[in-house]
Amino acid sequence: MTRYRHPHIPASEITPESLYLKRREFIKQSTALVASAGLATPGLLSAQSASTPDWHERIPEASATQSLDESLTDEQIVTSYNNFFEFGTRKRDPSDWGHYLRPHPWQIKVEGEVAHTGVYDLEDLLRPLTLEERVYRFRCVEAWSMVVPWTGFPLSQLIERLEPNSRAKYVVFETLYDPDQFRGQRRSTIEWPYREGLRMDEAMHPLTLMAVGLYGKPMPNQNGAPIRLVVPWKYGFKSIKSIVTLRFQERQPVSSWQAMSTNEYGFYANVNPDVSHPRWSQASERRLGEPGRRPTLMFNGYEDEVASLYSGMDLRVNY
């Protein structure tokens, strides 16, 4: 059996406990002062973010209060059957290789047509926000679905604090690019880093969530730790994971799957049982953990809430 030895550290180099506790108290007080001023200065509290983030303690326990009158999908299924090509193309690759991802500390770059550009510690972005639980249907383009209790905050809250200008018509998201952590990025499956985008009114819709947890726990690496997008009326590939960039721009972006196969994946990616994928029908779906299939609902069951966003649009053309 291999034995690991801890290096010997001279007593003179060990921080006294009293000084350590004073330092922790200083960090807490600094955090409160920065939070009271609104957005924190980029990078100011990166030393604190290197430890376990204190926002983990604010994740509410899963209560399933918004269950949509449907049973939750088993947590084990949700965390072990994933599409996350950064780890690999097989459904089990994310859970097999997710331990290589280092989600703390984490920074997000904000750029483009917005007042508050810069590189922000995730800790600083989350501190003023109240995390809440929401239960959504979540549907993959490959005709399987789940019902998941996510923890997060409306993306609109963050956008309002960043203050985009009138030229900001779209929000673009990018996933971390680091082949050392994401072994799937060592292959040219798609053009890395993964990119997605939303129209501004979609991003501001109250159903659009920035999620940092599920089932009352911090977001697992295989599900997009530490922060991901959840847009429940769209196919799952729109809900980009492990986000490191937010870019506000005037022109409609080209998303990763759209760039790779335009005839199969459009910019909007709204769940639509009347529009088939070129290689399969999307009229029905398989709910993970259940036998048989069920009819696919228009906009994944959120038609009353979001149909007005696409009034007058031909959804067969704008797929």
Residue 21 domain-assigned (yes or no): no
Q: What is the model's pLDDT at position 5?
A: 34
Q: What is the model's pLDDT at position 307?
A: 98
Residue 16 domain-assigned (yes or no): no
Alpha helices in the chain (DSSP H): 17-36, 46-49, 75-78, 93-97, 122-126, 155-162, 200-203, 256-260, 303-306
Residue 26 domain-assigned (yes or no): no
Each residue's pLDDT tens digit, 67-76: 678 899 999 9
Q: Rounded to two decimals, what is the model's pTM?
A: 0.84
Counting residues of the chain whose pLDDT is more than 70, the rounded percentage is 83
What is the torsional sign of CA 49, 163, 208, 62?
positive
Distance CA 317, CA 263 (A): 11
Whichever domain contains 79, its CATH number is 3.90.420.10
Give whole-number Cα distances, 111 to 18, 163, 164, 245, in Å. 41, 11, 10, 8
Q: What is the model's pLDDT at position 62?
A: 82
Residue 280 domain-assigned (yes or no): yes
Tokens 């399933």, residue? Answer: 64
Q: What is the model's pLDDT at position 3?
A: 34
Q: Which of 91, 96, 85 is nearest to 242 (CA)?
A: 85
Residue 23 domain-assigned (yes or no): no
Q: Which of 129, 175, 182 is nearest to 152 (CA)?
A: 129
Q: What is the model's pLDDT at position 66?
A: 62
Low-confidence ranges of the chain (pLDDT < 70): 1-51, 64-67
Distance CA 166, CA 100 (A): 40
Residue 24 domain-assigned (yes or no): no
| Residue 94 belongs to domain spanning | 39-310
- Please provide the DSSP assignment of 120-173 as one string: EEHHHHHTTSPPEEEEEEEE-TTSEEEEEEEEEEEHHHHHHHH-B-TT--EEEE
Residue 109 domain-assigned (yes or no): yes
Q: What is the model's pLDDT at position 288?
A: 96
Distance CA 113, CA 216 (A): 35
Q: Are 241 and 138 in contact (CB under 8 A)?
A: no
Residue 120 domain-assigned (yes or no): yes
At position 53, the amino acid (one-letter code) is P
Q: How many structural domains does the chain have?
A: 1
Half-sphere exposure of 74 (CA within 13 A, CB side): 7
Each residue's pLDDT tens digit, 259-287: 999 989 999 999 999 999 999 999 999 99
